[in-house]
Structure 1
Amino acid sequence: MPQWNKSLHKWLSLLVGIQLLIWLVTGLYFNLMDHRKASGNSNLQSINHQGIIAPERLIPVTQLAVQNAKHIGLLWLFGKPYYQVTIERGAHSYQAHNIKLFDASTGAPFTLNESLARTIALKSYNGPVNIISADLLAPPMDELPKQKNPLWQVKLQDELHTHVYIEPTSGAVVAHINDERRVRDLMFKLHFMDYLGTGGFNHWLTITFALLTLALTITGLAWLSERYRAGQLSFTHQHKTQNVTVHVSNTQHTHVLALDKHSTLFDSLAQQGIMLPSNCGGGGTCGMCRIQTNQPVKVTQADQTRLSQSKLEQGFRLACQHNACDIQHITVRTLKRTNKNAS
């Protein structure tokens, strides 16, 4: 297996592992959270706009200065009737639309102004509260990334830093966004990998992550196959051992150790307390776990990549690339030795 494949597998493991950890944390949050609070509706209350008017006081819809209307409905705002004329509308309320309001008594075009937006915001809040500011925002909006239409944003002065969003074409309260809702939205963003703020999960990052996970699986299977062919992987429960004479050059001690035949020398020596230098944990990418032998031992691709030709001719190999069944006499230089019972 090429060394770049092993490096790729490790980096993919890191990326996929981080996202799996994020899924674990966010999934736990979704199971434990208070759904009503997380929706931002802790202080939301409904507003009764309904009023009474004699039908003859309403002007006919044919007199409205509008063309190509797809739907005309009657709505009430604080007891006053208005015609809501829909010219264009998406399947969802957050999608771009073209809707106009007309005073149902006079037929005059009507615009929901700041004063009315402030009143609606206060009426929608359960409890006394002061207003910090009111602004008519155009999309995109950080707190409502899916929204494609202008909305009134009324900031309230409360402990949860509530923002009330109001639809100018209906006076409807679209959402109360407070700190509890912001935490939930952050968790959704992390859970659905919506790091670009699209407001959904069907985006190129999700597709890319799926492809990276597939690549991780393929490189992992290739590595597993290579280890099996090299005799470094056994599916049996019996661990066969091989006596190996190990000379530790930096301590001038020699030991005869019974090492697992199907494990790499790097892992087998570590199990005996003999720790070889390594930055890659036995992955064959750092070239630090060198051993030396006077036996003819095949040269692996990792050996050839990490060791010079002169070192190979002197019998140097990488411990992570060879098993105990390949070599009976080795010389190593260790970091430390923790097992004092080896003979």
Structure 2
Amino acid sequence: MRFLKWLHRWTSLIIVLQLLLWTISGLYFAIVGNADMSGKQYRKDSVEVALSTTQFNISNLDLNVENITKVRSHVVVGLPQIEVHHGEGVSYFDGRTGQTWHTNSELAEAIANASYIGPGEVTAITAITASGELHGWEGQGYRINYNDDLNTRVYVDSTSGSVIEHRNTPWLLGDWMFKLHYMDYSGGRNFNHMLIIVAAAVSLWFALSGLILLLNLLFTGQMRVSFRKVPFEAIVGTERKQIRAPGHKTILQTLQQQNIPVASGCGGGGTCGLCTVKAVKDAPITAAERALLSEEQLAEGCRLACQHQVSKLASIEVDKLCVGKYQLKLVGSKFLTPMLKELRFKVEGDGIEFKAGQYMQFLVPKAKTSTRPHDVPEAFSTEWANINQATFSHGHVRRNYSMETVAGLSQELVFTVRYQPPTNGHKHPGAGSSYMCNMKVGEQIVAEGPYGDFNRIHGPERTLFFIGGGAGMAPLRALIQEELNEESPRQIEFYYGARNKQEIVYAEEFEALNSKGVVNFVPVLSDKKESCDWQGKEGFVHEAVLSYLSGKDLESYDFYVCGPPRMLAAALQMLEELGVEPSRIRYDDFGS
């Protein structure tokens, strides 16, 4: 069944692609019309002039055949021509001499001009024996090119002195549309060929395999289990909770809907490895779990809640987290870069105790708002010029944002939110970032936490090496502040990647720390066109780090990485290739 599902999916892709080609070509036919695809826009209808039988004598023809069935006579650009049909085919003769008809290049040009009424002039005459634009024709002939707006080409047959066809650029495009529509790439425009027979067989296979899979779902009960609510047990600490949830929901989604706290940095993408639960019974191991969990954890039954459906794991154990829900009130906001906004919240009631590097999970309500924040600075207007102002509506979503201030008991929390505009074909911008960036001072929102274990490594006196980019500045800044508050702070290296100078977050703050010798802050710009006056490091931040570490003792560093997904993946791969022990690498994966 697994192979059948795989084959069914790929078959559906082939069929969808062909349906798309049919739709595109059909729309083209409807819009353009047959006249504009014919290639005959500049062709003149010829009027055949027949000769009387007194104008020629068939006995004078250079003809040695029997079984003559028909004799026709007509004028070709003023010259008499005799056409004789016989048992061996058709022969053409010059009515003046009786000799076999011969078309040279000058006569071919005259024949082409007689059939042409366009504005162009002849630019080239080429002798041919076949052409991809003439399906089924082979022999001796000429192609006469005209320099008109349609790039007209007239084909003349040497044997008969007749115009075979007019072709031009609109015809060529239309011919390709016919090939796509008929699935006949020979140019014959015929539905009865092997490729379409294979396509029909593939479509039949798709229908039959779909029916088999449907019957399998029905008979095994998987369809019923997937969509109906099934019993599910969550053991939270010492408390057992009996839950009924749709079988197709993931355990992570179900726990969140039941207000059971569970860490999740990537929002269920299977890349952060935080939403760990323990399966009461044996459960399959996914590729994401093998990559993110240790062999010991897997052997103990640890699994990622985002990787399994409720219908697959009937009972799991969840660590009881010391998190809570807090009402936060926005007390200040400002743009740090064209797309990064700093939000300052006051905690209603008691403060929140957290560690540097942790994050809060914001419960973004159903939002209907402008995609563009109301307070975009004039200096950043260029970056926002092409972003639509359309309104949209989303349901309840959860979004994670790291605290970017020093740890401790605090009644004011600071977050950096990156606005996510519409990308990769998406019609709307990011629901969470759009709502957060549009919040006004005084508005409130609920956040849950603190979550996360992106904390400092305590132990040997190693240099703290931070690698960041974009909104990854938030947890790294908090970790640096926390280290600097120590009685004897360790040495700090901080490489931060940005597209241009305008996108370097908290540049003045870290340049001041750099000038004091407290933090070696090295910004790296990737866009050379927008950084032409830049005197610092250029390229990707992980490449600058690799260059710096060349020849260094890697045992003397602990690494902390946070930033956009591609940057994070590249930096982690670099550290792995350098042989840095995983125990000396901490990273925060906040998804996209």
TM-score when normalising by structure 1: 0.71
Q: How many residues align?
A: 304
Structure 1 residue 112, shift from structure 2 partner: 1.9
**How do 1:1-343 and structure 2 match up within 5 A?**
1=1, 3-50=2-49, 55-61=53-59, 63-68=61-66, 69-87=68-86, 98-139=89-130, 141-234=131-224, 240-245=228-233, 258-261=244-247, 263=248, 265=250, 275=268, 277=270, 293-295=279-281, 324=310, 327-330=313-316, 338-339=397-398
| Rounded Cα–Cα distance in structure 2 between residues aligned with 1:30 and 1:88 | 42
CA gap 1:63/1:131 in 2 versus in 1, 3 angstroms:
closer
Q: Quick one: structure 1 residues 51 and 73, their matched pair in 2 at CA, closer, same or farther if it must change by over 3 Å?
A: closer
Specify every segment of 5 or more residues in structure 1 that has no aligned partner in the other structure, as ranges. Answer: 90-97, 249-253, 279-289
- Letter aligned with residue 37 of structure 2: A
Assess if the C-alpha contact under 8 Å between 2:232 and 2:244 holds in 1: yes
Asked whether the equivalents of residues 145 and 197 of structure 1 are also in contact (C-alpha less than 8 Å), the reply is yes
Deviation of residue 70 (structure 1)? 4.7
Contact 1:82 1:103 in 2 (8 A): yes
Give the CA deviation at 1:181: 0.7
Distance 1:125 1:189, change over 3 A: same
Deviations 1:117-147 (A, max 9, x none): 10111121114421122223213x2112332
- 1:275 aligned partner, one-letter code: G
CA–CA distance in structure 2, aligned partners of residues 270 and 145 of structure 1: 65
In 2, Cα distance between the equivalents of 1:175 and 1:270?
71
Contact 2:76 2:111 in 1 (8 A): no
User: Which residue of 1 is the match for residue 501 of structure 2?
Assistant: none
Superposition deviation, residue 64 in structure 1: 4.2
**Secondary structure of residue in 1 paired with 2:145:** strand
Read off the aligned partner of 1:219 and give its amino acid letter.
Answer: S
Q: CA deviation at 1:73?
A: 2.0
Q: Secondary structure at the match of 1:136?
A: strand
Q: Structure 1 63/225 Cα, relative in aligned 2: closer, same or farther at 3 Å?
A: same
Larger RCO, structures 1/2 (Cα 8 Å, 6+ apart) = 1
Q: Secondary structure at the match of 1:110?
A: coil
1:86 to partner: Cα distance: 3.3
Structure 2 match to 1:285: none
Shift of 1:339: 4.8
Comparing 174-183 with 314-323, greater Cα deviation is found at 314-323
| Contact 1:144/1:199 (<8 A) preserved | no
Asked whether the 8 Å contact 1:49–1:79 carries over to 2, the reply is: no
Shift of 1:63: 4.9
Q: Secondary structure at the match of 1:233?
A: helix
CA RMSD of aligned residues (A): 4.3
Q: Provide the secondary structure at the position in 1 that maps to 2:185.
A: coil
Q: Which residue of 1 aligns with 2:421?
A: none
- 1:179 deviates by 0.9
Distance in 1, matches of 2:170 and 2:40, equals: 9
Task: State the identity as a percent.
Answer: 27
List alignment gaps of at least 5 residues for structure 2.
258-263, 291-295, 319-360, 363-396, 400-445, 449-592
The worse-fitting range, judged by mean Cα deviation, of 30-39 and 56-65 is: 56-65
The separation in 2 between residues aligned to 1:64 and 1:161, in whole angstroms, is 40
Give the CA deviation at 1:30. 1.1
Contact 1:57–1:105 under 8 Å retained in 2: no
Query: CA distance change for structure 1 residues 121 and 241 in 2, over 3 Å: closer, same or farther?
Result: same
Whichever of the two has the greater Rg, that structure is 2
Letter in 1 for 2:232: V
Output the CA distance in 2 between the equivalents of 1:176 and 1:267.
Answer: 66
Q: Cα distance, 1:187 vs. partner?
A: 0.3
Alignment partner of 1:125: what SS? Answer: coil
Q: Output the amino acid matched with 1:47.
A: S
Question: Between Structure 1 and Structure 2, which shows a larger proportion of strand residues?
Answer: 2
Mapped partners of 1:177, 1:50: distance in 2? 25
How many angstroms does 1:154 deviate by? Answer: 0.9
Shift of 1:293: 2.7
Distance in 2 between residues matched to 1:45 and 1:81, nearest whole Å = 20
Once the 2 structures are TM-superposed, how far is the Cα of residue 26 of structure 1 from its aligned partner? 0.6
The residue identity in structure 1 corresponding to 2:99 is A
Deviation, structure 1 residue 219? 2.2
Q: What are the superposed Cα offsets for residues 237-256 of structure 1, whole Å, 9 maximum, x if unpaired?
A: xx6423424589xxxxx987
The DSSP-based 3-state class of the residue aligned with 2:223 is: coil
